[in-house]
Amino acid sequence: MENKLYKVVFPFFIYAAISFFLAMGLLVLHSEVFLGFYIQPNIIAITHIVVLAWATMIILGCCYQLIPFMNHVDIYSYKIAYYSFVLLAFGIPMLIYAFFTLNFDYSAIVGGVCIVSSVGLVLVNLYKTLRVSNIMNINSIYILISIFLLFITVCIGLLMIVNFNYSFLSVHSLHYLSLHVHVGIAGWFLILIIGVSSRLFPMFLVSTYLNDSLLKTILVTIHIGLFNYLLWHMDIIPTYFYWFSIAAFGSSICMYIYFCVQVYRNRFHKNNNTLLDLSGVSLIFLGVSVFITCLVTYFLDSYINLQLIKLFGIAIFLGWIAALILQMTFKILPYIVWTMKYSKHRNAIPYSPLLLYDKRVLTVMGYVYVTGIFSLIPGIIINESILLKCGSFLLLVTALLYNYNVFKILFYKPKISIHETD
């Protein structure tokens, strides 16, 4: 079982790591696009590489590992898991090419269908896995709901692509862009990250704090915000009711931050950790994103709104989500590889998952990332191309260091003592 699962998870991480480097390389080449309007082919393409090819790919790979781990059960179907990767890996480049060229022909539709089919297979596979286990803890519920909302998100995206070609809807495709973004961020990413981190943070910190009631309240609050937003988007309720959605999302995030603080305060591992510092950076960007959302709503018809939306995208995708993935990759991946390949060798070197990667490179990566993201943000605020280029380049260096450690973990060659006994 372990070898099969490793072979399924392995390609997700390779594809994601390479995609992150590719996205940051393109960001360096096209950093000047952030000086203009936020709906541009290059911005949309790079955003989807980060969101789909890096973040979503690596998260789905982690889900195939975490669901069996949390529920003490094998994956329902390894074939379905493999097919879901192939479809996603095949569909993403076709979609990205369509964004770069603004050519939403049959290839873009095929790419979208592949992505929708892939997410559908993941959803069915994980649901069947949970059905077999007969265990449905709060974290598994979070993951399952988030993947369902990811399925809704990519379906909306596919609907937008088809409508670009055939105009079968009564309104333009861009009318659904806001819905696509809200369901993707507040539904897929927010629910998934809270569900996974609320299980992993206490485990990594060896914390005694657990609060399923609070997690259930957070989940309900997020859904209230999403439902209210849907009513607003359909013009069923007045415009000012959108603030209610912001309040719901903001409240859920405050409760989540409270949960993380309590986990940290009740930890056994008191030593400072560079990785955990990045989780703090991630939480800061999450809070900043809510504040920016309030400003975007207040300055809805102002020029400032254009800058704020670009700032929001950076804070969400390259701030909150990126910081968390940069951290969690080197918490989850070493454990997966070590468990699958080395744990059975009692005298194997490395004897710990923490020895699979270079900690010095990881520390440098963290500092370079923080410097890069905080160079990019003022560059967007004041429209300074030099800061944008410098910030983009530092993020490219971050991606290079990230890839170095990821591939070091995946292709690590262990040393086995000659005195090892069977």
- Give the torsion through C-alpha atoms of 168, 169, 170, 171, to 10 deg: -120
- DSSP per-residue string spanning 299-329: TTTSTHHHHHHHHHHIIIIIIIIHHHHHHHH
Give percent of the chain with pLDDT exceeding 90: 42
In this structure, what are the phi and psi dihedrals at residue 348, rounded to the nearest 5 degrees? Answer: -75, 150
Q: Which two tokens stand for residue 224?
A: 């209230």
Q: Where are the domains of the chain?
A: 2-308, 309-422
- Cα–Cα dist 63/66, whole Å: 5
416 residue type, one letter = I
Is 1 strand, coil or helix? coil
* pLDDT score, position 166: 82
Q: For position 224, what pLDDT does the model report? A: 94
Average pLDDT over the chain, rounded to an integer:
85
Q: How far apart are CA 147 and CA 140, in angstroms?
A: 11
Could you give the angle at the alpha carbon of 300 between the alpha carbons of 176 and 43, nearest 5°? 55
CB 269 within 8 A of CB 205: yes
Distance from C-alpha of 320 to C-alpha of 288, rounded to nearest angstrom: 9
Q: How many CA atoms lie within 13 A of 266 on its CB side?
A: 14
List the structure tokens of 15.
């594809």
Give the residues of the chain that fall short of pLDDT 70: 1-3, 269-277, 299-304, 341-352, 414-422
What is the pLDDT, as a whole number, of residue 418? 40
The distance of Cα 130 from the centroid of its chain, to the nearest Å, equals: 22
Give the largest CA-CA distance in the chain. 74
At 199-248, the pLDDT tens digits run: 888 887 788 888 999 999 999 999 999 999 888 888 787 877 888 888 99
- Predicted confidence at residue 146, as pLDDT, reads 95
> Which CATH number does the domain 2-308 belong to among 3.30.70.250, 1.20.210.10, 3.30.200.20, 2.60.120.510?
1.20.210.10
280: which 2 tokens? 């703090």
Output b/e per residue, 335-358; b: 16+ Cβ within 10 A.
bbbbbbbbeeeeebebeebeebbe
pLDDT given for residue 177 in this prediction: 86
Amino acid at 294: C
d(CA 272, CA 284): 18
Phi, psi dihedrals of residue 344, rounded to the nearest 5°: -75, -15
DSSP state of 72: T
Give yes or no for a contact between 353 and 334, defined as CB atoms under 8 angstroms apart.
Answer: yes
Q: Where do we find the tokens 């495709």?
A: 173
Q: What is the pLDDT of residue 3?
A: 63
Q: What gap in Å lies between CA 59 and CA 192, rounded to an integer? A: 9
Q: Residue 417: what pLDDT? A: 47
Position 391 scores a pLDDT of: 92
